Structure 1
Amino acid sequence: MDEHRPFAIRPGTGDDLFMIAGVLVDTWRSTFRGLLADDFLDGMSREEQAMRHARRMGAPGVGYLVAVEPSTEEIIGFANFGPGRGTAPDTIHEIYALYVRAEHQGFGIGTALVCSAARHCVEQGAKSLFAWVLASNPNRQFYERLGATAVETTSIWLDDRHYEQVAYLWEDIAPLLKR
Protein backbone atom coordinates (compact mmCIF):
# COMPACT_ATOMS: atom_id res chain seq x y z
CA MET A 1 0.00 0.00 0.00
CA ASP A 2 1.60 3.22 -1.10
CA GLU A 3 -1.16 5.56 0.00
CA HIS A 4 -4.31 5.60 2.08
CA ARG A 5 -7.65 5.53 0.30
CA PRO A 6 -10.68 6.17 2.44
CA PHE A 7 -13.60 3.80 2.18
CA ALA A 8 -16.63 2.83 4.19
CA ILE A 9 -18.32 -0.54 4.50
CA ARG A 10 -22.06 -0.83 4.83
CA PRO A 11 -24.75 -3.45 4.19
CA GLY A 12 -25.66 -3.87 0.53
CA THR A 13 -29.28 -3.34 -0.49
CA GLY A 14 -31.44 -3.92 -3.51
CA ASP A 15 -30.72 -0.35 -4.60
CA ASP A 16 -27.04 -1.36 -4.94
CA LEU A 17 -27.56 -4.32 -7.27
CA PHE A 18 -26.63 -2.63 -10.54
CA MET A 19 -23.45 -1.15 -9.04
CA ILE A 20 -22.58 -4.53 -7.45
CA ALA A 21 -23.05 -6.15 -10.85
CA GLY A 22 -20.80 -3.53 -12.42
CA VAL A 23 -18.03 -4.26 -9.92
CA LEU A 24 -18.32 -7.98 -10.63
CA VAL A 25 -18.30 -7.69 -14.43
CA ASP A 26 -15.50 -5.11 -14.53
CA THR A 27 -13.38 -7.07 -12.05
CA TRP A 28 -13.77 -10.35 -13.94
CA ARG A 29 -12.76 -8.61 -17.15
CA SER A 30 -9.70 -6.91 -15.62
CA THR A 31 -8.57 -9.95 -13.61
CA PHE A 32 -9.27 -12.82 -15.98
CA ARG A 33 -8.60 -11.33 -19.44
CA GLY A 34 -6.17 -13.76 -21.06
CA LEU A 35 -6.99 -16.47 -18.48
CA LEU A 36 -10.62 -17.12 -19.40
CA ALA A 37 -12.18 -17.07 -22.84
CA ASP A 38 -12.67 -13.56 -24.22
CA ASP A 39 -16.12 -14.45 -25.55
CA PHE A 40 -17.20 -15.47 -22.05
CA LEU A 41 -15.87 -12.28 -20.45
CA ASP A 42 -17.26 -10.05 -23.19
CA GLY A 43 -20.64 -11.76 -22.87
CA MET A 44 -21.01 -10.97 -19.17
CA SER A 45 -23.65 -8.31 -18.56
CA ARG A 46 -24.47 -6.08 -15.64
CA GLU A 47 -28.17 -6.74 -16.16
CA GLU A 48 -27.80 -10.53 -15.88
CA GLN A 49 -25.51 -10.23 -12.86
CA ALA A 50 -27.91 -7.80 -11.17
CA MET A 51 -30.78 -10.27 -11.65
CA ARG A 52 -28.64 -13.16 -10.35
CA HIS A 53 -27.70 -11.20 -7.25
CA ALA A 54 -31.27 -10.02 -6.72
CA ARG A 55 -32.29 -13.68 -6.43
CA ARG A 56 -29.40 -14.42 -4.09
CA MET A 57 -30.01 -11.34 -1.95
CA GLY A 58 -33.43 -12.68 -0.98
CA ALA A 59 -32.17 -16.09 0.17
CA PRO A 60 -32.25 -16.94 3.90
CA GLY A 61 -29.04 -16.07 5.76
CA VAL A 62 -27.38 -14.42 2.75
CA GLY A 63 -25.63 -11.12 3.34
CA TYR A 64 -24.06 -8.39 1.24
CA LEU A 65 -21.52 -5.81 2.28
CA VAL A 66 -20.37 -3.03 -0.01
CA ALA A 67 -17.24 -0.90 0.15
CA VAL A 68 -18.05 2.66 -0.80
CA GLU A 69 -15.82 5.56 -1.80
CA PRO A 70 -17.13 8.15 0.70
CA SER A 71 -16.96 11.30 -1.43
CA THR A 72 -18.86 9.82 -4.39
CA GLU A 73 -20.83 6.95 -2.79
CA GLU A 74 -19.50 4.77 -5.64
CA ILE A 75 -19.39 1.07 -4.78
CA ILE A 76 -15.78 -0.01 -5.25
CA GLY A 77 -16.06 -3.54 -3.86
CA PHE A 78 -18.44 -6.02 -2.30
CA ALA A 79 -18.67 -9.30 -0.44
CA ASN A 80 -21.56 -11.74 -0.63
CA PHE A 81 -21.70 -14.49 2.00
CA GLY A 82 -23.91 -16.87 3.93
CA PRO A 83 -24.47 -20.52 4.76
CA GLY A 84 -22.17 -22.95 2.97
CA ARG A 85 -23.64 -24.39 -0.17
CA GLY A 86 -23.78 -28.12 -0.79
CA THR A 87 -23.28 -30.43 2.15
CA ALA A 88 -21.42 -27.96 4.38
CA PRO A 89 -22.46 -28.18 8.06
CA ASP A 90 -24.36 -25.22 9.55
CA THR A 91 -21.19 -24.05 11.32
CA ILE A 92 -19.31 -23.55 8.03
CA HIS A 93 -20.24 -20.47 6.06
CA GLU A 94 -19.10 -19.37 2.64
CA ILE A 95 -17.96 -16.22 0.91
CA TYR A 96 -19.79 -16.56 -2.39
CA ALA A 97 -18.28 -13.49 -3.99
CA LEU A 98 -15.55 -11.00 -3.11
CA TYR A 99 -14.58 -8.33 -5.62
CA VAL A 100 -12.72 -5.03 -5.41
CA ARG A 101 -12.20 -2.85 -8.46
CA ALA A 102 -8.63 -3.16 -9.75
CA GLU A 103 -7.73 0.47 -9.09
CA HIS A 104 -8.79 0.09 -5.44
CA GLN A 105 -6.94 -3.15 -4.71
CA GLY A 106 -4.02 -3.11 -2.28
CA PHE A 107 -5.57 -0.63 0.16
CA GLY A 108 -7.14 -3.04 2.68
CA ILE A 109 -10.64 -3.04 1.21
CA GLY A 110 -10.72 -6.80 0.50
CA THR A 111 -9.39 -7.57 3.97
CA ALA A 112 -12.00 -5.32 5.57
CA LEU A 113 -14.78 -6.97 3.56
CA VAL A 114 -13.64 -10.50 4.52
CA CYS A 115 -13.32 -9.61 8.20
CA SER A 116 -16.69 -7.84 8.25
CA ALA A 117 -18.31 -10.81 6.48
CA ALA A 118 -16.73 -13.13 9.07
CA ARG A 119 -18.31 -11.11 11.88
CA HIS A 120 -21.74 -11.44 10.26
CA CYS A 121 -21.24 -15.18 9.76
CA VAL A 122 -20.27 -15.65 13.42
CA GLU A 123 -23.50 -13.90 14.41
CA GLN A 124 -25.31 -16.63 12.44
CA GLY A 125 -23.44 -19.42 14.26
CA ALA A 126 -20.50 -19.98 11.92
CA LYS A 127 -17.20 -21.29 13.29
CA SER A 128 -15.44 -21.72 9.93
CA LEU A 129 -15.50 -19.90 6.62
CA PHE A 130 -14.50 -20.86 3.08
CA ALA A 131 -14.38 -19.43 -0.42
CA TRP A 132 -14.09 -21.04 -3.86
CA VAL A 133 -11.46 -19.29 -5.97
CA LEU A 134 -10.57 -19.94 -9.60
CA ALA A 135 -7.17 -21.64 -9.69
CA SER A 136 -6.08 -19.20 -12.40
CA ASN A 137 -6.92 -16.20 -10.19
CA PRO A 138 -3.69 -14.21 -9.84
CA ASN A 139 -4.93 -12.92 -6.46
CA ARG A 140 -5.20 -16.30 -4.72
CA GLN A 141 -2.40 -15.43 -2.31
CA PHE A 142 -4.75 -12.82 -0.79
CA TYR A 143 -6.67 -15.64 0.93
CA GLU A 144 -3.46 -17.27 2.12
CA ARG A 145 -2.19 -13.97 3.59
CA LEU A 146 -5.42 -13.81 5.58
CA GLY A 147 -4.76 -17.29 6.99
CA ALA A 148 -6.92 -19.47 4.74
CA THR A 149 -5.64 -22.85 3.61
CA ALA A 150 -6.30 -24.51 0.25
CA VAL A 151 -8.24 -27.66 1.16
CA GLU A 152 -9.98 -28.92 -1.96
CA THR A 153 -10.01 -28.58 -5.73
CA THR A 154 -12.72 -29.24 -8.23
CA SER A 155 -13.69 -27.94 -11.63
CA ILE A 156 -16.40 -25.57 -12.69
CA TRP A 157 -18.07 -25.07 -16.07
CA LEU A 158 -17.99 -21.55 -17.46
CA ASP A 159 -19.32 -21.09 -20.95
CA ASP A 160 -18.85 -24.75 -21.93
CA ARG A 161 -15.27 -24.88 -20.63
CA HIS A 162 -13.79 -26.55 -17.57
CA TYR A 163 -11.82 -24.41 -15.13
CA GLU A 164 -10.22 -25.57 -11.91
CA GLN A 165 -11.22 -23.93 -8.66
CA VAL A 166 -9.73 -24.15 -5.19
CA ALA A 167 -11.54 -24.03 -1.84
CA TYR A 168 -9.81 -21.85 0.73
CA LEU A 169 -10.82 -22.53 4.33
CA TRP A 170 -10.49 -20.60 7.54
CA GLU A 171 -10.99 -23.52 9.93
CA ASP A 172 -11.33 -21.02 12.78
CA ILE A 173 -12.88 -17.62 12.05
CA ALA A 174 -11.60 -16.09 15.31
CA PRO A 175 -8.34 -14.66 13.87
CA LEU A 176 -10.34 -12.77 11.22
CA LEU A 177 -12.39 -11.13 13.97
CA LYS A 178 -9.24 -9.67 15.54
CA ARG A 179 -8.05 -7.88 12.40
Structure 2
Amino acid sequence: MHIRKATLEDLNIIIPLFDGYRQFYRQASDLEGANLFLTERLSHNESTILIAFHDSEETEALGFTQLYPLFSSVSMERMLLLNDLYITPTHRGKGIGTLLINSAKELCTSSHQKGIVLQTEITNPAQQLYERLGFNKDPDLHYFWAR
Protein backbone atom coordinates (compact mmCIF):
# COMPACT_ATOMS: atom_id res chain seq x y z
CA MET A 1 0.00 0.00 0.00
CA HIS A 2 1.26 3.46 -0.90
CA ILE A 3 -0.22 6.77 0.30
CA ARG A 4 0.82 10.20 -0.84
CA LYS A 5 -0.35 13.78 -1.06
CA ALA A 6 -2.17 14.65 -4.28
CA THR A 7 -1.21 17.45 -6.64
CA LEU A 8 -3.01 19.09 -9.55
CA GLU A 9 -1.38 16.51 -11.81
CA ASP A 10 -3.45 13.84 -10.03
CA LEU A 11 -6.86 15.24 -10.96
CA ASN A 12 -7.55 12.40 -13.41
CA ILE A 13 -7.03 9.97 -10.51
CA ILE A 14 -8.96 11.91 -7.87
CA ILE A 15 -12.01 12.96 -9.90
CA PRO A 16 -13.57 9.48 -10.27
CA LEU A 17 -12.91 8.73 -6.58
CA PHE A 18 -14.44 12.06 -5.53
CA ASP A 19 -17.43 11.44 -7.80
CA GLY A 20 -17.90 8.00 -6.23
CA TYR A 21 -17.72 9.58 -2.78
CA ARG A 22 -20.44 12.07 -3.67
CA GLN A 23 -22.62 9.32 -5.13
CA PHE A 24 -22.24 7.39 -1.86
CA TYR A 25 -23.94 10.40 -0.25
CA ARG A 26 -26.77 10.27 -2.80
CA GLN A 27 -25.52 13.02 -5.11
CA ALA A 28 -25.75 12.79 -8.88
CA SER A 29 -22.56 12.03 -10.77
CA ASP A 30 -20.90 15.27 -11.90
CA LEU A 31 -17.39 14.74 -13.23
CA GLU A 32 -17.16 18.27 -14.65
CA GLY A 33 -18.23 19.79 -11.33
CA ALA A 34 -15.79 17.54 -9.47
CA ASN A 35 -12.99 18.69 -11.75
CA LEU A 36 -13.77 22.36 -11.13
CA PHE A 37 -14.22 21.91 -7.37
CA LEU A 38 -11.01 19.91 -6.87
CA THR A 39 -8.99 22.15 -9.18
CA GLU A 40 -9.99 25.18 -7.11
CA ARG A 41 -9.23 23.47 -3.79
CA LEU A 42 -5.80 22.29 -4.87
CA SER A 43 -4.87 25.43 -6.85
CA HIS A 44 -5.56 27.66 -3.87
CA ASN A 45 -4.12 25.28 -1.26
CA GLU A 46 -7.55 25.09 0.35
CA SER A 47 -7.38 21.37 1.02
CA THR A 48 -4.99 18.47 1.30
CA ILE A 49 -5.90 15.23 -0.43
CA LEU A 50 -4.19 11.97 0.43
CA ILE A 51 -4.54 9.15 -2.11
CA ALA A 52 -4.13 5.44 -1.34
CA PHE A 53 -2.63 3.30 -4.10
CA HIS A 54 -2.30 -0.45 -4.38
CA ASP A 55 1.48 -0.17 -4.74
CA SER A 56 4.31 2.32 -5.15
CA GLU A 57 3.91 2.17 -8.92
CA GLU A 58 0.49 3.76 -8.42
CA THR A 59 -1.23 1.46 -10.88
CA GLU A 60 -4.54 1.53 -9.01
CA ALA A 61 -6.06 4.20 -6.74
CA LEU A 62 -8.05 2.62 -3.91
CA GLY A 63 -9.35 5.64 -2.01
CA PHE A 64 -8.69 9.10 -0.68
CA THR A 65 -9.23 11.47 2.20
CA GLN A 66 -9.61 15.23 1.92
CA LEU A 67 -8.64 17.54 4.76
CA TYR A 68 -9.55 21.20 5.13
CA PRO A 69 -7.81 23.74 7.37
CA LEU A 70 -9.62 25.10 10.41
CA PHE A 71 -8.58 27.47 13.17
CA SER A 72 -9.37 27.63 16.87
CA SER A 73 -9.62 31.16 18.23
CA VAL A 74 -9.66 29.88 21.81
CA SER A 75 -6.44 27.87 21.56
CA MET A 76 -5.04 30.02 18.72
CA GLU A 77 -4.05 26.87 16.85
CA ARG A 78 -4.64 25.29 13.48
CA MET A 79 -6.75 22.15 13.12
CA LEU A 80 -7.79 19.89 10.27
CA LEU A 81 -11.29 18.92 9.20
CA LEU A 82 -11.37 15.39 7.84
CA ASN A 83 -14.28 16.05 5.52
CA ASP A 84 -14.03 13.23 2.99
CA LEU A 85 -12.99 9.61 3.32
CA TYR A 86 -13.76 7.24 0.48
CA ILE A 87 -12.60 3.73 -0.35
CA THR A 88 -13.70 2.09 -3.59
CA PRO A 89 -16.42 -0.50 -2.88
CA THR A 90 -14.26 -3.48 -3.92
CA HIS A 91 -11.50 -2.46 -1.50
CA ARG A 92 -13.49 -1.72 1.64
CA GLY A 93 -12.74 -3.68 4.79
CA LYS A 94 -9.06 -4.13 3.88
CA GLY A 95 -7.53 -1.52 6.19
CA ILE A 96 -7.22 1.27 3.61
CA GLY A 97 -9.37 3.67 5.64
CA THR A 98 -7.16 3.01 8.66
CA LEU A 99 -4.03 3.79 6.65
CA LEU A 100 -5.52 7.00 5.22
CA ILE A 101 -6.68 8.23 8.63
CA ASN A 102 -3.34 7.37 10.23
CA SER A 103 -1.60 9.28 7.43
CA ALA A 104 -3.89 12.25 8.14
CA LYS A 105 -3.01 12.03 11.83
CA GLU A 106 0.71 11.96 10.96
CA LEU A 107 0.23 15.05 8.78
CA CYS A 108 -1.55 16.76 11.66
CA THR A 109 1.29 15.99 14.06
CA SER A 110 4.10 16.86 11.64
CA SER A 111 2.49 20.21 10.82
CA HIS A 112 1.99 21.02 14.53
CA GLN A 113 -1.79 21.22 14.41
CA LYS A 114 -4.09 20.88 17.40
CA GLY A 115 -5.98 17.87 16.07
CA ILE A 116 -8.47 16.55 13.56
CA VAL A 117 -12.20 17.04 13.69
CA LEU A 118 -14.68 15.13 11.57
CA GLN A 119 -18.39 14.82 11.05
CA THR A 120 -20.35 12.01 9.48
CA GLU A 121 -23.88 10.84 8.99
CA ILE A 122 -25.38 9.15 12.02
CA THR A 123 -25.90 5.97 9.98
CA ASN A 124 -22.38 5.82 8.51
CA PRO A 125 -20.76 2.49 9.48
CA ALA A 126 -17.32 4.16 9.38
CA GLN A 127 -18.05 5.54 12.87
CA GLN A 128 -16.67 2.31 14.31
CA LEU A 129 -13.44 2.91 12.41
CA TYR A 130 -13.18 6.48 13.70
CA GLU A 131 -13.71 5.38 17.29
CA ARG A 132 -11.23 2.52 16.93
CA LEU A 133 -8.62 5.04 15.70
CA GLY A 134 -9.04 7.33 18.69
CA PHE A 135 -11.78 9.74 17.62
CA ASN A 136 -14.37 10.48 20.29
CA LYS A 137 -17.80 12.04 20.10
CA ASP A 138 -17.49 15.38 21.84
CA PRO A 139 -19.83 15.43 24.86
CA ASP A 140 -19.33 19.18 25.35
CA LEU A 141 -20.18 20.48 21.89
CA HIS A 142 -23.24 20.38 19.67
CA TYR A 143 -23.20 20.70 15.92
CA PHE A 144 -25.58 23.29 14.44
CA TRP A 145 -26.44 24.03 10.83
CA ALA A 146 -28.15 27.03 9.20
CA ARG A 147 -28.82 28.06 5.66
TM-score by length of 1: 0.67
The structure carrying a bigger strand percent of its residues is: 1
Structure 1 gap segments, 5+ residues each: 1-6, 158-179
**CA displacement at 1:148 relative to structure 2:** 0.8
Alignment-derived partner of residue 52 in structure 1: 37
Q: After the TM superposition, which residues 1-179 of structure 1 pair with which residues of structure 2 at under 5 Å, given as runs?
A: 7-29=1-23, 31-32=24-25, 36=26, 41=27, 43-60=28-45, 62-70=47-55, 73-84=59-70, 89-151=76-138, 152-155=142-145
Q: For the residues of structure 2 that align with 1:45 and 1:156, how far apart are their CA atoms?
A: 25
Alignment-derived partner of residue 161 in structure 1: none
CA RMSD, Structure 1 to Structure 2 (Å): 2.6
**Matched letter for residue 110 of structure 1:** G
Indicate the SS of the match to 2:64.
Answer: strand
Q: Answer whether contact 2:71 2:77 (CA < 8 A) is retained.
A: no
Q: For the residues of structure 1 that align with 2:136 and 2:130, how far apart are their CA atoms?
A: 8
Q: Answer whether contact 2:72 2:79 (CA < 8 A) is retained.
A: no
Indicate the SS of the match to 1:67.
Answer: strand
Q: Deviations over 1:60-116 (max 9, x none)?
A: 473221101226622111112242268685332221321111111111111111111
Structure 2 gap segments, 5+ residues each: none
**CA displacement at 1:123 relative to structure 2:** 2.3
Q: For the residues of structure 2 that align with 1:101 and 1:110, how far apart are their CA atoms?
A: 10
Q: Answer whether contact 1:69 1:76 (CA < 8 A) is retained.
A: yes
User: Structure 1's 18 and 47: CA in aligned 2 closer, same or farther, altered over 3 A?
Assistant: farther
Q: Answer whether contact 2:80 2:113 (CA < 8 A) is retained.
A: yes
TM-score by length of 2: 0.79
**Range 107-116 or range 136-145, more displaced:** 136-145
Q: For the residues of structure 2 that align with 1:86 and 1:127, how far apart are their CA atoms?
A: 9
